[in-house]
A = this chain, B = another copy of it.
Amino acid sequence: LRKGFPEVVYGPGKTPRQVAEIMRRLRERGGPVLVTRVHAEQAESVQRLLPEAAYHPVARALTLPAERDEAGERAPGPAIRVVTAGTADIPVAEEACLTLELMGRPHERVYDVGAAGLHRVLHHLPSLREAPVVVAVAGMDGVLPGVLAGLLARPVVGVPTSTGYGTGQGGVAALLTMLNSCAPGLAVVNIDNGFGAAVLAGMIASVGSPAPP
């Protein structure tokens, strides 16, 4: 599937029956299918109707593989890095990784590089510099993506998360930090939108390749 991205369905507000039906219909188009924001019970009900659906509990997503398995066919080039500030940001990062996986995009996890300190960031810098683009996931004050954008010459996709409390306001504080960063090369997506960040990063990584038809 190197050239596109998966068919995607937004899980909340849909009955298991609706989800299963949509997954079946979309599978017919040939590519993989991804359903985001599915909690465990909802997933189980869908799997009873559609046993071939796989559930990814940390990413909170259901998937169907592509018709013709192209898992072996990977896009060439260095791996996109998916970075998190803290442990609580991992579910959003896993949604991104799962999406990159379905897109056939090589990617590497760099988790927990530190919310309140910069040492771990500096430690990973040489590896991060190899990436064509970095997905940086952070809640609370959302400082990490801007710091990375200041240190790297490649684009950074910042994903604010709803991790935090009080004035964090469900991710709004982190979002504002990223939008107001002076660091050049920082793209921002919606709060908790791991899927969207991955699609964007995958597209960026393939800008040098011929466009999909």
Contacts and interface: CB of A to CB of B under 8 A. Distances in A.
Interface of A: 4-5, 8, 10, 12-14, 18, 22, 37, 86-88, 91, 115-118, 129, 132-133, 140-143, 146-147, 150-151, 153-155, 157, 160, 162-193, 196, 199-200, 203-205, 207-209, 211-212
B182 A172 contact: no
14 contacts: A8-B184, A10-B86, A12-B88, A115-B182, A153-B212, A166-B180, A167-B180, A167-B191, A168-B176, A179-B190, A179-B191, A185-B203, A186-B196, A187-B187
A23 to B, nearest CB: 12
A180 B140 contact: yes
Nearest to A91: B13
Contacts of A163: 10, 12-13
A197 B57 CA distance: 36
